[in-house]
Structure 1
Amino acid sequence: MAVEFATRRHEELINEVKTMLWGPVVKEEVFQRWAQGFYFSADENSALVQDEGGPCAVIAPLQAFILKQILTESDINTWSDIKPEKCNELLIKAMSEILAQAVEPTNTKFSILLIDMPNSIVNGEVPIKNTQMDVDSVLKEIANIESTSMQIDKPVVESQVFHSRLRIHTISSIEEVQKFLTQNISMFKEQFGVLLLLYSVICTKGIRQMRLEISDLTDPLIHSIFGYGSQSLINLMLSGRAVSNVWDHDQDVGGLKLKGIDQQNAVGFLTLLETLRYIEVGTFLKSPSNPVWVLGSETHLTVLFSTEKKLVSAETPAEKAKRVFKKYDNDGNNFIPTDSLQNVLAELGLYSDIEYVDIMKKKLDRHNDGIILITAFMYEFFPEEPRIYPDTFILYHYNGLLRSNINNQVKYHKGQAILLESVVESILDSNPMLTVLQTKWPSIEVQWDVNQNPSIN
């Protein structure tokens, strides 16, 4: 009876994850585009390759955490010299970090999903020794059972068969997670590696917590027609939170409490959609703790990074002031109700005695309009801070899609960036890369080594 219950619960959990990701019906065409493993470029040892459109929602964040590892490990001089075995180690560390972000403090259990091997125990707990078999033979066995259509490079395995073969391994510590991933890294580099990591992150997070964080449960996390990942899915991979917004903290919008990013992230996020006012990216993602940013276009995700550590730092007093001010700017109009001034000052640790606040209200709201503009507030309490960024620095860009790279070679492209004296912020259809970067550095210009702007699509 216990085995029967465990098997039924296992199947229910897999079905819940499947529905959350794909909706009530899995479109086979979209599923096949996501059915790829993690493998590195022949032209850039540490750069992951993306075969088709869609799985960048997993691949780009994972690449960002790989680059974060490279930038923080002292034994790595240049990424061009990284050996294949070191790349595997970086891959495992990046996967582990993404899983560690997702685990809830009240539940220290990690759930790693693998494809079931022949003769394994079908109760949701597969012995580790059974996972050491040859992955290719298992994939071929599955394909021979369910499909007569075979590709030369990989078997066509239907989504139903894939889901029926998934087994969950429960692991109690991040150290054991790294060990388990090391033992089974070959499976993640095979046909379903991207999906196995994605399902593992969701199961580690927990269905209940996922539902609490996702704003709209009616839409699947993977678009049923175009196959791209939702913002909730991107945020889950970037921060461990499946929220649909990228602003700082939770915000009250029209009486609805909408969740955002709750702390400074390890890697950042910038998006072209912010220039179109579809999205507001907060300080926690624009100013991460490492100089690595996932870049979003309308349809694709790429990665920007730099070796210049001065590009990131602890939050300055002025940055914190703007972030706190925006918490009380419910409509995003760059002003707050005058009556909110005392709360803002108190949250910033500034003098907030009622008599003093009344004096400042009259000064900052001279015409008695009932509002205080952010420009007036910042000018009064946080005069212009010296710029902490260097005037010039090197940037690198990664795009995992072969067709989006010159000569179909996935490589890091180098750019020389300069911050001009005056802001040149603009929306240029001919230069979406620059448009995205200006959401972080409004006065930036970049000269790329290939004499053309790398594609963010």
Structure 2
Amino acid sequence: EIVNLLLCGQAVPNVFDGRMDLGGGMFLKGIPTFVEVGFLSLLESLNLCKVGQYLKCPKWPIWVVGSESHYTVVFALDTSVQDENEFEKREAEIRRAFDAQDQSGGGGFISSEKLQHVLRETKVNMPPEMLENLASTAFIVWSEFWHALLQLDKSLGGMKDATGLIGKKQFDLYHFNGIAKAVSNGNQLTEGETLQQRPRLTELSVTVPPRWRPEEFLVELTPDLSNEQGEKDGNVEVDQPERSQHAPLVDCIRTRWPLAVCSWVGDAPSIV
């Protein structure tokens, strides 16, 4: 509540958008409107909460990052990292409509009865056979719904991208941890030398790939062993994937930019 009070001016107990109707006149209160400084949480990457778009898309590209025990800050110097293309705006619109019907507390699923409401609100004309497959169970998970939209033509309100190139971004983020951490900058220590203790500021290079489905992204990053010899001989040109490094901070960044690939120089950024 204290963090939300500082970010949005209200000490609400949840981080989702708006409020959640539990029925019987009972509501759970979340973030009421867009904010100037945002919030990302490691707990969301563990599926323990759902941070809404109000906190993920603040006015300025600055986010408080919450871990199990500590708060740090990640920010960008270029405000264009917040710019949305047509694809992202449409995705955000559909996600807001989906989340408005999600009564699980951020679990990312809705009942089958709520699906028609989401389709009407987002003007999606889903073919009967696709609709039947999607609504074959009592609940519909966001990932399955999104997967179906990626296969549905734009003329029907879907998100199918024939080029596979919509939405790719490259930008830099900076992470600041105010608690003194050991910093080696990737260098070997000489005998008798001790690590400096000071707050950490780490620059991260971030590449957000086109909005492929996750399985397509993994296939794209998986090397084709059958072409390995040809690559060695220089007979085959292959686009090399971006250099990827991992730390818990990357999991937080991916709650804002799914499938983001991050890299940095020196020690991994710490959020604890």
Alignment match of 1:324 (pick from 80, 91, 97):
97
Larger helix share, 1 or 2: 1
- Which residue matches 1:252? 21
Q: Which is worse superposed, 363-372 or 302-311?
A: 363-372
Give, as a single letter, the amino acid of the residue that structure 2 aligns with 1:409. Answer: R
1:365/1:372 contact within 8 Å kept: no
2:47/2:107 contact within 8 Å kept: no
**1:257/1:292 Cα in 2 relative to 1: closer, same or farther (>3 Å)?**
same
1:365/1:371 contact within 8 Å kept: no
Give, as a single letter, the amino acid of the residue that structure 2 aligns with 1:437. Answer: I
Say yes or no: does 1:378 pair with 2:149: yes
TM-score of the two chains, using structure 1 as the length reference: 0.41
Say yes or no: does 1:440 pair with 2:218: no
**1:443/1:287 Cα in 2 relative to 1: closer, same or farther (>3 Å)?**
same
The correspondence of residues 71-110 of structure 1 with structure 2, limited to 5 A, is: none
**SS of residue paired to 2:199:** coil
Say yes or no: does 1:268 pair with 2:38: yes
- Which residue matches 1:388? 167
- Which residue matches 1:344? 118
Deviations 1:207-236 (A, max 9, x none): xxxxxxxxxxxxxxxxxxxxxxxxx11011
Give, as a single letter, the amino acid of the residue that structure 2 aligns with 1:396. Answer: Y
- Which residue matches 1:12? none
* CA distance in structure 2 between the partners assigned to 1:416 and 1:249 by the alignment: 33
**1:455/1:341 Cα in 2 relative to 1: closer, same or farther (>3 Å)?**
closer
**SS of residue paired to 2:256:** coil
The correspondence of residues 391-406 of structure 1 with structure 2, limited to 5 A, is: 392-401=170-179, 403-404=180-181, 406=183
Larger strand share, 1 or 2: 2
Give, as a single letter, the amino acid of the residue that structure 2 aligns with 1:415. Answer: L
Shift of 1:441: 2.8
* CA distance in structure 1 between the partners assigned to 2:140 and 2:270 by the alignment: 41
- Which residue matches 1:302? 72
2:181/2:200 contact within 8 Å kept: no
The correspondence of residues 32-431 of structure 1 with structure 2, limited to 5 A, is: 232-253=1-22, 256-313=26-83, 316-331=89-104, 332=106, 334-348=108-122, 350=123, 363-366=130-133, 369=137, 371-372=139-140, 374=142, 375-376=144-145, 378-379=149-150, 380=152, 381-384=157-160, 387-390=166-169, 392-401=170-179, 403-404=180-181, 406=183, 407-410=196-199, 412-419=201-208, 422=217, 431=247
* CA distance in structure 1 between the partners assigned to 2:128 and 2:108 by the alignment: 16
**1:417/1:334 Cα in 2 relative to 1: closer, same or farther (>3 Å)?**
closer
1:310/1:389 contact within 8 Å kept: no
**1:309/1:387 Cα in 2 relative to 1: closer, same or farther (>3 Å)?**
farther
Give, as a single letter, the amino acid of the residue that structure 2 aligns with 1:399. Answer: N
Shift of 1:437: 2.0
* CA distance in structure 1 between the partners assigned to 2:68 and 2:53 by the alignment: 21
* CA distance in structure 2 between the partners assigned to 1:363 and 1:416 by the alignment: 39
Shift of 1:327: 1.4
Give, as a single letter, the amino acid of the residue that structure 2 aligns with 1:404. Answer: K
* CA distance in structure 2 between the partners assigned to 1:254 and 1:405 by the alignment: 51
1:289/1:313 contact within 8 Å kept: no
**1:330/1:378 Cα in 2 relative to 1: closer, same or farther (>3 Å)?**
farther
1:272/1:297 contact within 8 Å kept: yes
Shift of 1:334: 4.1
* CA distance in structure 1 between the partners assigned to 2:56 and 2:139 by the alignment: 27
- Which residue matches 1:93? none
* CA distance in structure 2 between the partners assigned to 1:447 and 1:373 by the alignment: 31
* CA distance in structure 2 between the partners assigned to 1:345 and 1:252 by the alignment: 20
**SS of residue paired to 1:399:** strand
* CA distance in structure 2 between the partners assigned to 1:372 and 1:436 by the alignment: 25
* CA distance in structure 2 between the partners assigned to 1:373 and 1:439 by the alignment: 17
Q: Which stretches in structure 1 are left out of the alignment for 5+ residues?
A: 1-231, 425-429
**1:236/1:419 Cα in 2 relative to 1: closer, same or farther (>3 Å)?**
same
Shift of 1:363: 4.7
**1:310/1:372 Cα in 2 relative to 1: closer, same or farther (>3 Å)?**
same
Give, as a single letter, the amino acid of the residue that structure 1 aligns with 2:73. Answer: V
Give, as a single letter, the amino acid of the residue that structure 1 aligns with 2:94. Answer: A
**1:371/1:241 Cα in 2 relative to 1: closer, same or farther (>3 Å)?**
same
Say yes or no: does 1:456 pair with 2:229: no
Q: Which stretches in structure 2 are left out of the alignment for 5+ residues?
A: 184-195, 211-216, 222-245
Deviations 1:321-345 (A, max 9, x none): 1121121122255443343344324
**SS of residue paired to 1:252:** strand
